[in-house]
Amino acid sequence: MRILKKIGKWFLILIGVFIAFILVVLLVIRINSSGEEEPFLDETGNVLPNSITTHEDKVINGAPQRVTIRGKDKNNPVLLIVHGGPEAPILPVIYKLTGVDLEDLFTVCYWDQRGSGLAYNDSIPDSSITLNHIVDDGLELSSHLKKTFKKDKIYIEGLSWGTAVAAYMVQKKPELYHAYIGSGLMANLSLSEELSYEFAMSEAQKYNDTVSINQLKQIGKPPYVSNSENTVTEAFEIERQIVMKYAPIKLDTNFNFIKSMFLDNGLTFSEKFTDMINSPEAYYPAAKILESTAIDMNLMRDIPELKVPVYILQGDNDHFTETSVAKVYFDSIIAPSKKWFLFENGTHGVQIEYPEKYRSIYINEILKN
Q: What is the CA radius of gyration of the chain?
A: 22
Tell me which of 211-215, 276-280, 338-342 is least confident: 276-280
Question: Are 86 and 287 contacting, i.e. CB atoms less than 8 angstroms apart?
Answer: yes
Residues 133-154, mean pLDDT to the nearest whole number: 96
**Residues 64, 57 contacting (CB under 8 angstroms):** yes
d(CA 114, CA 120): 7
Cβ proximity of 188 and 163 under 8 Å: no
Whole-structure pTM value: 0.86
pLDDT, one tens digit per residue, over 18-69 is 666 566 655 555 665 555 678 888 888 898 999 999 888 888 998 888 899 9
DSSP string, 303-362: -SB-SS-EEEEEETT-TTTTHHHHHHHHHH-B-S-EEEEEETT--S-HHHHSHHHHHHHI
Please report, as a single letter, which amino acid is at residue 221: K
CB 109 within 8 A of CB 145: yes
pLDDT in tens, 221-275: 988 877 656 777 788 889 999 999 998 877 655 455 555 666 666 666 566 555 4
Round to the nearest angstrom and report the end-to-end CA distance of the chain.
80
Between 180 and 11, where is the model more confident?
180
Beta-ladder partners of 69: 54, 109
Strand 338-343: give its sheet, edge to edge: 52-60, 63-71, 107-111, 78-82, 154-159, 177-183, 310-315, 338-343
- The phi and psi torsions of 33 (rounded to 5 degrees) equal -135, 50
Whether the predicted pLDDT of 280 surpasses 50: no
Q: Are 37 and 54 in contact (CB under 8 A)?
A: yes
